[in-house]
Amino acid sequence: MFIATFISLYLVVSIIYYGNKKEDYSHVRHTISELGEVTTPNSTIINWSVFFPVGLCLIGLPFLSPMPQNLMGLSLSLGFGYLIGAVFPCDEGSPMSGSLRQQIHNLGAGIQYFGSVYFLRETGQIPGLESMGYVAILVFMGAVILSISSFNAVRGLLQRIVELLLFGSLLYLLKLIQ
**CA angle (165 as vertex; 155, 35 as ends), nearest 5:** 40
Tens digit of pLDDT for each residue in 79-120? 999 999 999 999 998 888 889 999 999 999 999 999 999 999
**What residues contact 171, with CB distance under 8 A and at least 6 apart?**
1, 4, 5, 8
Residue 65 has pLDDT above 90, yes or no: no
Task: Report the C-alpha gap between 7 and 157 in whole angstroms.
Answer: 20
The rounded mean pLDDT for the chain is 94
pTM: 0.93
The answer to whether 89 touches 31, Cβ cutoff 8 Å, is: no
- Give 35-61 pLDDT, tens digit per residue: 999 988 889 999 999 999 999 999 999
Determine the pLDDT at residue 125: 93
Nearest Cα residue to 167 out of 55, 41, 26 = 55
